[in-house]
Structure 1
Amino acid sequence: MSLYDTLGVSQDATQVEIKKAYRKLALQHHPDKVTDDSVREESEVRFKEITAAYEVLSDEEKRSKYDTYGDTADGPDFEDESFMNFFTQFNSGFGFNGGGGGGFPGAQPGDDRSDDVQVPLKVSMADCYNGKVFKFQSKRKIVCEKCEGSGWRRRSGGPPPQTNCKSCQGRGYKEQLRRVAPGMVAQQTVSCGMCHGKGKYVSKPTSEKNQCKKCRGQGMIEEAKPLTVSIPRGSRHGDRIVFEGEADQEVGKSKTGDLIFIVDEGTEPPEGVRLERRGYDLITNISISLAEAITGLDRTLTKTLDGRVLKLSTPAGKVISPGKIIKVEQEGWPLNSHATKFGDLYVLVDIVFPRDNWFAEKSDLLKIRNILPSEAANNDVKADPGNTEQVSDMKLVDQLPDYMGSNGDQYAHEGHASGAFPDDGTPQCAQQ
């Protein structure tokens, strides 16, 4: 039965029709809506089939793959040995015969391990830097050990009754089409995910009398236990802390998936800390006066993420020029949990020049001019006293106009500014 048949729609059905059919069937077969215990098991299987069909047909990309190849799985890598095995499969009756009955009942079972569980864990910037231990109660579902997941009360009359899987008609496997080469498809046999390749599964208890008292017929119980999560020093956003075998268990699967905590690092530093992380380095900003840039710096910089206070001093005579960046080695992010190696701290310096007319007496300017070194003026233009004009009408601006950018046309602005030239660059006569 195709996915379209499962939802009761045609192959050219619109997304609106598919969604409408799914809602109707899901409401009809939802386990919580079925009160008759005799058909509850069948409704659960039907509900899973309806949901699986809708997940494929509601996604246009998956639907296109299903219409073309019969399933939504990606094709094999034709450069590895799986493509070479195609010829072996072909010769051994893999089912690559247009009529399609092929396949074999001994298909390999699916993954015998429950799914991993990923949990985002919010950790502050300071806790990522210093490390942190979280303790809390962990809850998960485990297979009831009293009934071994069957949901049935133990009886002397043998094992709990089983019913044929409705999804695979009791065979334990299904047949589906898979792409084996560009433009070529083959029918292959896959294990049924509903019954895990067994063809049967244990029916749910039909009455409270038959139910396991511990799990109330569910086959699963909730387990709560203390869990300690240690965030190593120097952790970063996206780091993973794995607890093997601590995910939810599943009936019929012998192995349990992992519980994985994923660090969600905060970006806001604590109060008084002016630091931003860039990889394994830290960055901060500081504004200093022109006098400090010339004569030397002795300034409290910032609090650190581990509670210290950094004080920055430069030797007398060490000039900090505009555009320079101060690098403080080994004051960045921890490179290992033992805190033996760190990244670096970069300090972006903003030199604040004095405002206009800052001096008290003009003689102050002369004193500074005499103290500061006098660099040779870069002026090779010979002045002609009879042809020299003094420029005094000036102002300071923060940047060049946009049209004077390095990639701009140096002539583009001239014509447009005056209106003398059209777009083709040819001169025009002024209108009278």
Structure 2
Amino acid sequence: MGKDYYDELGLTRSATDIDIKKAYRKLALKYHPDKNETAAASTKFAAVAEAYDVLSNAKNKGFYDLYGEEGLKQGVSDGKGGRRGGFYKFSTSPTLVFDQFFGTNNPYAALSEISESFEAMTATPKLKRGKQKTFDITVSLEDIFYGCIKKVPHTKKILTASGTFETQDRILTLDIKPGCKDGTRFVFDNEGNEAPHTEPGPVIYTLSTQKHPSFKRKGADLVYTAIVPLVKALSGTTLEIKTLDDRILSIPITEIVQQGSNKLIVGEGLPKGDGSKGDMLVVFDLLFPASLSDSQKMLLNAAFFLPPKPTAEQADAVKTFGVAFKDQLKGWSAGYKK
């Protein structure tokens, strides 16, 4: 008596194609050599592979149902001196049958894929995500320095199932921390417009800093442009800079200043998240006179060409000039500011 392929798969002859596939899937995973290393499991794995190979093929299954395993493999008499059947031989390896069925030789990968497919079929369908709405929020540099709370009005539209619109007015609160970076996004989930079968999208506000009359922002650092008259750039001066928190920084400039040169003032920038502060970079922009008289040109030349070691007569001339220049009543330095 030949093999009973239906019995190998735990089925009856009334089994459908779907029943055959389900039975093979279950038994092949159970007896795969990588999961069950016993000799009996290896024998069973090969048996269910052959049974599936026969019963999943319409021609093989039809002949087997009529003449059994012997007729399928060895053939039967046709009553005319010839034979029918005898065309099947299980020449494919059980592992190849498994690979062709699952798309992998790894039983654990096959189990994972089956699990994911089942979850996908049984999971609750995800709602379509609504569009995100993006707005800009611009604040002053002082607000960035101290931190602030901004409340913005927001209107949410709701499309009802009947096709009409309703609106909801609400206030969204933005907690802007000290030193908050440009480009920071404040995300309010589910505050977008609503529609049937649609999950509301987010409303997003993106931070930017307003232009400031004195400073430019560069991350946590501040850039201050100091306009310095040429004479002060050469002879020295003291800069007075009003900070964002209303202090006055007095910065002595004792060396000759070049156009575009800079001076770093540590710790006078914007707050950082770690409790420290950025720096202030003072960039010098020199202010040149629009014109010079012949006397002014002569005096400039006199200053630049003064010898390192003047003679007694030259020293007396400089002293006389200084007295005339600085005289509180008649000297032309009186009242000079720039």
Task: Normalising by structure 2, report the TM-score.
Answer: 0.45
Larger proportion of helix = 2
Task: Normalising by structure 1, report the TM-score.
Answer: 0.36
Q: Which has the higher contact order (CA 8 A, sep 6+)?
A: 1
* Rg comparison, structure with higher value: 2
